[in-house]
Chain A
Amino acid sequence: MSPIQSGPAPRKITIGRIGLYLFLISMVAFFALPLFVMLITSLKTDEEIRLARIFALPASLNFSAWATAWSGACAGTICNGVQAGFWNSIQITVPAVAISVMLGALNGYALSFWQPKGGKILFALLMAGALVPYQIFLYPMVRALASVSLYNSLPGIVLVHVLFGLPLVTLLFRNYFITLPVELFKAARIDGAGFWRIFFEIMLPMSVPMVVVAAMLQFTGIWNDFLLGLVFAGPDNLPMTVQLNNIVNTTTGSRAYNVDMAATMLTALVPLSIYFLSGRWFVRGIAAGAVKG
């Protein structure tokens, strides 16, 4: 093992160096093995699973459990797999992300450049709202949405995600816009551009990187949501996470563990692909979201 070329890297192998790599390798096992076990279990047959050798590779690549998980696994008495949940999650997540990111950008822009009266109070209340456990909001929200016929509907669950997503997206965009030079804004105002024109023609195009980060963060967050989907989506629009839990933790019938694992993998696939494809952007998003302004 040769040392790395750049910087004051250690030149020889020391005991400390060996310990370091041993630590890292054991951590790789800790973090990677669960996913690996899921994957190989989803490819095994029932007989292989009953051998109880969880780390053994499957005898052959058998994707039938994946097919069953997608379109035939049962939650209670309904056996449609996770596909309906997948499409529900898409229908919930896409509009919720689009609307909340747009509102967040608008909020961040209005708060940082225009500084309207009460803006600071609004921002503080919004940040405080993000800390409140959802259980405080749930029952009144159910009643309020029911009174306008939005409870158990697709627009209803989208609206709920937008409302509860506002603090994070607003924070991201406010923190982004306060780093932009205010001269840019002043010049546009001198040229006679108004509130909306500056937003759509200057600020929004300039904030594309933040739009991407916020959209990614919101997408994974809303896709991974369980509680809000369970309470507000209604039986016909249950997101994939809720359906997955219903399938795996269903009490009727004998459990097909390979199908369960395939269903779990399918549910994890969307956020995982976003993570593996976007890498640094995802990290930037959580770093930006973690540091409160």
Chain B
Amino acid sequence: MSDPTPRYQELRIPSLARVEGETALHLRIHDGTVTEARLKIYEPPRFFEAFLRGRAHTEPPDLTSRICGICPVAYQMSACRAIEDACGVVVDGQLAALRRLLYCGEWIESQTLHIHMLHAPDFLGEDDVIGLSRSHPEHVKRGLRLKQTGNAVVELLGGRAIHPVNVRVGGFHRAPTRAELRLLEERLRTALDDAWDTVRWVAGFEFPDAECDADLLALAEEDTYAIESGLPTVLPYDETLPPYSFPLRDFTDRVAEEQVSHSTALHSRLDGRRHLTGSLARWAVSGHLLSPLALEAAREAGLGDPLSRAGVGRAEVCRNPYRSILVRAVEVLYAVEEALRIIAEYERPASPYVEVPARAGIGHGATEAPRGLLYHRYAFDGGGRVTDARIVPPTAQNQGAIEEDLRRLVQAGLDRGEGSEAELTRLCERAVRNHDPCISCSAHFLELDIERTH
């Protein structure tokens, strides 16, 4: 290790597996110090913002859902909200409830997928869900059952679980009957038990110490845990700064994206600082608005009690990315409960949608994708044609925080003497999976490049 000449070492690690999409990681290590950790999301550019130009105002929900097969509902919902905002239409009442129900379905299946198939294997030393199904069959079966129930909700409301066809600007093409929705109730009641058991299961995992030093950004509603709407709200990492919200129309001024040479994903910063969206941010911003049952589960899981916060007290803010799996599990439980509540209160609306007449204007829409805040903005001409589109996905926002996470983690690993490629890769993969990144557009092998100089 006393080689005086700078040495460049490139390692090809065959996979950053079990994330959606594929990515590479570049580490620069100088004299045992990590000077840089860059997540190389060099997905082939997919041009969605360009494809949208010239399309009719009814088209973005179907088109943008193809950005991500794991959270298509999120894309459809953010697109609808932005378009309706531009056209001056508000969708409320039972139609809004149905949208929330659809979104709950996606939360259930997507968070469950992440918990059981992508994340849990890390805690239990397995390569994948297949290995897990041998060592922990009952947990995998329960996970599959839970995920199926989430899929069933999306399928009933949307027609199919991936790229649902029933969503339209203004609401739905067809609203389900009460009787149809009731068919889901029994499964959802089983899912409620399954979700509880999942919380207990993941609460028993071993969580390494870690802290993510980023501002937390999530949508907030006054009286409910924000999913399909809300005001962007920030909990700064610097505790001397108060939490604050800003209007959605200011989003791209506050969350500024910049392109960096190492990635096709744009990097963004919130008011000049690193920020994180997703489960940890939602829990920090809106945890106190969860249902009593979900709060009980959260307490049991060791997440603390947001109701007992003193003032804005950060006591119960969880900043350990490893523990995000706990928040996800609690969110699944909450989504199941919400789904049951919405179904119980459902009255079929007179029309499955409200008219959304085209007009010139600019509209903003944001919702809470399972992985974090997803923002859309569209500009339309008088004929309702898209003249400009802007989409800010959660992973692009989280990238800076993930990289900082990786830098610290690798540093800690090096300090402990875990310097081998295999050890570092394992560490980094886990760290990235903690954040459930949705790099859906990437298409490359995961490579870990370590550049070491001495």
Q: Do A and B bind each other?
A: no
